[in-house]
């Protein structure tokens, strides 16, 4: 019966992408008239930024495109060539799906439209309204090209309604939360605490946004802030490759490593990192996804950015934006330590069933039998 199957292709390329699609294979199996393949562009390629997630979460891509490491614009061009070739020579989908807002998302979206393949965007409608972020450009273009717009939070619906967008909008919830929900037992049994001898009370920190790490001055401020935090709590910092490269370039790695009471690690696998999020006293980050995961866990999260495309994490959740300012961050940490930080709730439909909803819509409306 396979010749009747309708074909779906998901394109991923970066760490957060892998984490947003873990439940698709299971859900699609419920519908025998659907078939799914996953392609990985190779944008993220280190074991700890890529393979570890397939091993842990069990969603191994069917195709690896392995684009070379070149400048952003050139990389997008090369991805487009490789994706087009995959579709022409190996797998012609009836629907393409892209998650998130990274360069791989944009490249795949452009190929879908060029090849006249209907496109669905997961995590559609998020807007930071900050055009200096490459991700904002990627989101807006992807949404303008997609026919099916799957939205994680209320703001996405409003944003899309204010734009010229021809797509069908579905508020389905957050597939990144599906992954936490599904793997919570494994997260709980992570051995990271003993592996790194992490204290009972600790803070977790990640930073990788170009606005924070690509200039020496901002990196220096980050190091001062880490030093201030470490004076009162152990700080665990899984270092993103972009940040590590920047610290090396500006010769700042020794100053970071010299701080007492911190634990610097390579990027962590999913279960270990989620354990940190769940158990941390607080989180300092500039990540997109971690704002949502902290909200889901109800853990105080300070996000070192001027804006967020995920306002539900602030309005409903436990996230707060902070400038890269020593005194302001110190004040928030004091509030957390004194139990004065706000409490939060889970946004609507962040219940572990977003992928199930998306696949049901695909199976019964978009690619109905
Ligand atoms: C990308 C996304 C960003 C997302 C982040 C998630 C774009 C424009 N940016 O940023 O939105 O928040 O991923 O982590 O798509 N590198 C390695 N090993 C790897 C991956 C990257 O060494 O496995 C190096 C690259 O060679 C490059 C730097 O890190 O020098 C940045 O990688 P890149 O994929 O361009 O952007 P990210 O900063 O990872
Ligand atoms: N993450 C992880 N290991 C780490 C750091 C992050 O598994 O060492 C996970 C994190 O829990 C979230 C995703 O990676 O699910 C977020 O990726 P990142 O912060 O790189 O990207 P962004 O969300 O900012 O695009």
pLDDT band at 125 (very low <50, low <70, confident <90, very high): very high
Cα 266 to ligand 2 centroid, rounded to whole Å: 12
pLDDT of residue 4: 82
CATH topology of domain 6-174+350-366: Rossmann fold (3.40.50)
Each residue's pLDDT tens digit, 284-342: 999 999 999 999 999 999 999 999 999 999 999 999 999 999 999 999 999 999 999 99
pLDDT of residue 3: 54
Q: Which residue has the tokens 């996804």?
A: 289
Counting from 1 in the atom list of ligand 1, the atom nearest the Cα of 50 is 23
For helices 270-279 and 289-297, the axis angle rounded to 10 degrees is 50
Q: Which residue has the tokens 């007492």?
A: 260
In this structure, the residue with its CA closest to atom 24 of ligand 2 is: 287
pLDDT of residue 48: 98
Query: Does pLDDT of 221 surpass 90?
Result: yes
pLDDT of residue 69: 86
208 annotated active-site: yes
Contact call for residues 173 and 269 (beta carbons, < 8 A): no
Q: Tokens representing 136?
A: 């904002």
As to burial, measured by CB atoms within 10 angstroms (0-12 exposed, 13-18 middle, 19+ buried), residue 132 is exposed
Q: Which of 40, 44, 171, 208 is catalytic?
A: 208
Signed CA dihedral, 320, 314, 272, 39: sign only: negative
Q: Order of strands across the sheet with 301-304?
A: 262-265, 234-238, 202-205, 282-285, 301-304, 319-322
Cα 44 to ligand 1 centroid, rounded to whole Å: 6
Enumerate long-range contacts of 158-166, CB under 8 Å, 24 or more apart. 158/125, 159/125, 159/126, 159/127, 160/124, 160/125
Instruction: Compute the average pLDDT of residues 90-118.
Output: 98
Pocket test for ligand 2, best of 130, 243, 289, 292 (most atoms within 8 A of CB): 289
- State the Cα–Cα distance between residues 38 and 109, nearest whole angstrom: 15
Domain-by-domain residue ranges, the chain? 6-174+350-366, 185-337
Residue 193 sits at φ, ψ, to 5 deg, of -60, -45
Each residue's pLDDT tens digit, 23-38: 999 999 999 999 999 9
pLDDT of residue 307: 98
pLDDT of residue 325: 98
| Common-topology check for domains 6-174+350-366 and 185-337 | yes
In this structure, the residue with its CA closest to atom 19 of ligand 2 is: 287
CATH topology of domain 185-337: Rossmann fold (3.40.50)
In this structure, the residue with its CA closest to atom 28 of ligand 1 is: 242
């Amino acid at each position: 019966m396979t010749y009747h199957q309708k074909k779906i292709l998901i394109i991923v390329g970066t760490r957060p992408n892998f984490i947003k699609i873990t439940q698709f294979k299971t859900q699609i199996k419920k519908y025998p008239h659907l078939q799914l393949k996953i392609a990985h562009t190779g944008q993220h390629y280190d074991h700890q930024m890529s393979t570890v997630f397939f091993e842990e979460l069990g969603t191994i891509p069917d195709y690896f495109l392995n684009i070379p490491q070149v400048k952003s614009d050139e990389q997008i061009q090369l991805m487009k060539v490789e994706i087009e070739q995959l579709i022409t020579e190996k797998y012609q989908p009836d629907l393409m799906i892209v998650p998130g807002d990274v360069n791989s998302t944009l490249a795949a979206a452009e190929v879908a439209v060029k090849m006249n393949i209907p496109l669905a965007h997961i995590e559609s409608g998020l807007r930071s309204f900050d055009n200096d972020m490459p991700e904002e450009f990627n989101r807006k273009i992807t949404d303008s090209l997609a026919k099916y717009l799957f939205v994680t939070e209320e703001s996405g619906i409003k944003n899309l309604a204010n734009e010229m967008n021809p797509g069908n909008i579905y508020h389905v919830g957050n597939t990144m939360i599906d992954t936490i929900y599904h793997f919570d037992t494994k997260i709980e049994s992570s051995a990271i605490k003993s592996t790194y001898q992490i204290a009972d009370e600790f803070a977790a920190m990640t930073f990788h946004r170009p606005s924070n790490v690509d200039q020496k001055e901002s990196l220096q401020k980050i190091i001062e802030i880490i030093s201030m935090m470490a004076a009162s709590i152990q700080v665990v910092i899984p270092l993103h490759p972009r940040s590590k490269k920047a610290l090396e370039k500006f010769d700042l790695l020794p100053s970071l490593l010299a701080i007492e009471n911190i634990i610097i690690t390579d990027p962590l696998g999913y279960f270990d990192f989620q354990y940190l999020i769940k158990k941390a006293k607080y989180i300092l980050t500039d990540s997109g996804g971690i704002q949502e995961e902290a909200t889901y866990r109800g853990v105080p999260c300070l996000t070192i950015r001027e804006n967020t495309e995920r306002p539900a994490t602030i309005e409903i959740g436990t996230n707060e934006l902070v400038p890269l300012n020593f005194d302001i961050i110190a004040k928030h940490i004091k509030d957390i330590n004194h139990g004065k930080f706000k409490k939060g709730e889970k946004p609507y439909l962040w219940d572990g069933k977003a992928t199930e909803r998306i696949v049901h819509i695909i199976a019964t409306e978009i690619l109905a039998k």
